[in-house]
Amino acid sequence: MAEEQAPPAGPDLAQGVALSDFSGETLLGHVGDQDVLLVRSGPEVFAIDAHCSHYHGPLAEGLVVGDSIRCPWHHACFDLRTGEATRAPALNALAVWQVEHEGGRIFVRQKREQPKPLGRRSVEAPGKIVIVGGGAAGFAAADMLRRQDFRGSIVMLSNDAAPPVDRPNLSKDYLAGSAPEDWLPLRPDGFYAEAGIDLRLKSNVTSIDTKARDVIVAGGGTISYDRLLLATGAEPVRLPIPGADQPHVHALRSLADCRAIIESAKGARRAVVIGASFIGLEAAAALRARDIEVHVVAPEQRPMERVLGPEMGDFVRALHQEHGVIFHLGDTVAAIDGKRATLKSGGVLEADVVIVGVGVRPRLGLAEQAGLKIDRGVVVGAFLETSVAGIYAAGDIARWPDPHSQENIRVEHWVVAERQGQTAARNLLGQREVFDAVPFFWSQHYDVPINYVGHAERWDEIAIEGDIAGRDCLLKYKSKGRVLAVASIYRDLANLQAELAMEQMSSR
């Protein structure tokens, strides 16, 4: 997704621009060979890196909210004064420059020192925090603890063999072969030791003793904690059909899964994807990029209808068909015998590689064993604390009170997991921050990104603006006239504005 660096655009801001040439909210220019964005916020003018530190999104097309700017692609947020990445998915700060006004012109001077984190000193910081899970939420929490200047000990236990990776990429560019593996780690290997994060890979936590405040690791190790974060994520649902355990039949969750699929895809001519979910269809697109014939088998009549509605579902199906995907909808795979997948309808598909994308289940085993309150997820309060004081949960496992939908919800989205990890970190330090971010996710199919903000499990109307087939649209999912969620294609600014409107609505 990261783009080639284009030559610097716009005026040379070091030479200054006339105030009269800067009438809008933002102006894209450069300082030396770096793209720099001038941003007006009230009476002040700021200068910040023009590209997001997540996937290089163009901030000039983003939304300015007070002293911050939000990225149009996946809604990261940066503080205009300090450059700090205040909301995931961006984790790294952007450079900011000093701005001076002189004789009716604005000059961008030297880069500012990277500021110290904005962290408030915590009132009752615990000595030792243990995080179970090395994914989106666990990583974001560990990172935020250090950004908050937490000086105590952090142990992060992950039963994965790989350090935290950019999981969404596993069904997109990396699987398609267009991103190298070194794009995947969320941080370079040396980061953990440098940051004093004791990351222990291949460490499977088997139980928690909430009275003694210990976690027990397979093999017998016991690790004590003062506060604990559970971020064990979700695991793919396995298909209970004959032949699902063969080596060319894969689920897709971890880097190891993805590597195994890539290995199976080498020399493969035909693939069967079971499930027309986000992951299934993204994987289908990635395999098409490898020139493999792809058959998608799924019981529903329209892909993604349950989440995106019939119109968007039809579009997604047509988009994949345009790229050569062959759908077998209203059908399921009954058995896989070697390279032959037999469908319930009786058809047989040849498959050198099979990907099973039939949904995930939250990994609740540890929470259940520890006696935490469970309701189709680990129940947490507004501060992401579980029913046991001192134990927090975040990410795919957490069911939290969402102020926007006014329901207790659990979602399986990258940005939500990271932001929950960040809020949990602050709360582990005693800051009492309510988790009130509006849920956001994106999905990428070929060159078409779908951005979705809000949460709508049911709706009574979908108001469609623009043209879905023309890939320029905004869909509003409404219940009794109230907008619960918005999905869009290439209407990023409107999607950001919808996010802001939902925030403002629920803070009233």
Is 370 a residue that touches ligand FAD (CB under 6 A)?
Answer: no
Is 497 a residue that touches ligand FAD (CB under 6 A)?
Answer: no
**Stretches 95-103, 127-135, 370-378, 463-471: which one binds ligand FAD (CB under 6 A)?**
127-135
Among 138, 243, 309, 403, binds ligand FAD (CB under 6 A): 138
**Stretches 39-47, 201-209, 287-295, 370-378: which one binds ligand FAD (CB under 6 A)?**
201-209
**Count of CB atoms situated within 10 Å of the CB of 219:** 9
> Would you state the torsion angle of the CA atoms of residues 41, 45, 50, 55, taken in this order, to the nearest 10 degrees?
-40
Q: Which residues of 453-475 are buried (b: 16+ CB within 10 A; e: fewer)?
A: bbbbeebeebeeeeebeebebbb
Is 76 a residue that touches ligand FES (CB under 6 A)?
Answer: yes
CB of 267 to ligand FES, least distance (A): 34
Is 158 a residue that touches ligand FAD (CB under 6 A)?
Answer: yes
Under rule CB under 6 A, which residues in 216-235 are in contact with ligand FAD?
A: 231-234
Nearer to ligand FES, 187 or 328 (CB): 187
Helix, strand or coil, per DSSP, at residue 97: strand
Strands, DSSP E only, in 103-204?
105-111, 128-132, 153-157, 197-200
CB of 500 to ligand FAD, least distance (A): 19
Pattern 26-55, binding to ligand FES, x per CB under 6 A?
--------------------------x-xx
CB of 499 to ligand FES, least distance (A): 12
Residue 437's binding partner among ligand FES, ligand FAD, none (Cβ under 5 to 8 angstroms by kind) is none
Residue 388 token pair = 């046991």
CB of 63 to ligand FES, least distance (A): 12
Instruction: Say if strands 353-356 and 249-250 run parallel, antiparallel, or are unpaired.
Output: parallel
CB of 40 to ligand FES, least distance (A): 21
Among 71, 205, 325, 487, binds ligand FAD (CB under 6 A): 205
Nearer to ligand FAD, 36 or 274 (CB): 274
Residues touching ligand FES: how many (CB under 6 A)?
10
Strands, DSSP E only, in 75-226?
77-79, 85-87, 96-102, 105-111, 128-132, 153-157, 197-200, 205-209, 214-217, 222-224
Cα 82 to Cα 87, 96, 111, 277, 286: the distances in Å are: 14, 6, 11, 39, 38
Residue 502 token pair = 């939902």
Report the candidate in 60, 54, 108 with the shortest Cα–Cα distance to residue 85. 54
> Would you state the torsion angle of the CA atoms of residues 416, 422, 426, 427, taken in this order, to the nearest 10 degrees?
40
CB of 28 to ligand FES, least distance (A): 16
CB of 372 to ligand FES, least distance (A): 32
What is the Cα 166 distance to its own chain's centre? Answer: 8
Nearer to ligand FAD, 8 or 454 (CB): 454
CB of 19 to ligand FES, least distance (A): 29
Under rule CB under 6 A, which residues in 309-338 are in contact with ligand FES?
A: none
Q: Are 320 and 281 in contact (CB under 8 A)?
A: yes
Question: Radius of gyration (Cα) for the chain, nearest Å?
Answer: 24
Q: Are 142 and 133 in contact (CB under 8 A)?
A: no
Nearer to ligand FES, 61 or 257 (CB): 61
State the DSSP H helix or E strand holding residue 414, giving kind and residue range, or none if neither: helix 414-428
**Stretches 73-81, 156-164, 187-195, 214-222: which one binds ligand FES (CB under 6 A)?**
73-81
Is 384 a residue that touches ligand FAD (CB under 6 A)?
Answer: no
How far apart (Å, rounded) are the C-alpha atoms in residues 38 and 24?
Answer: 10
Positions touching ligand FAD (CB under 6 A) are 132-138, 157-160, 167-168, 170-171, 203-205, 231-234, 252-253, 279, 363, 366, 395-396, 412-415, 417, 441-443
Contact footprint for ligand FES (CB under 6 A): 52, 54-55, 57, 71, 73-74, 76, 89-90
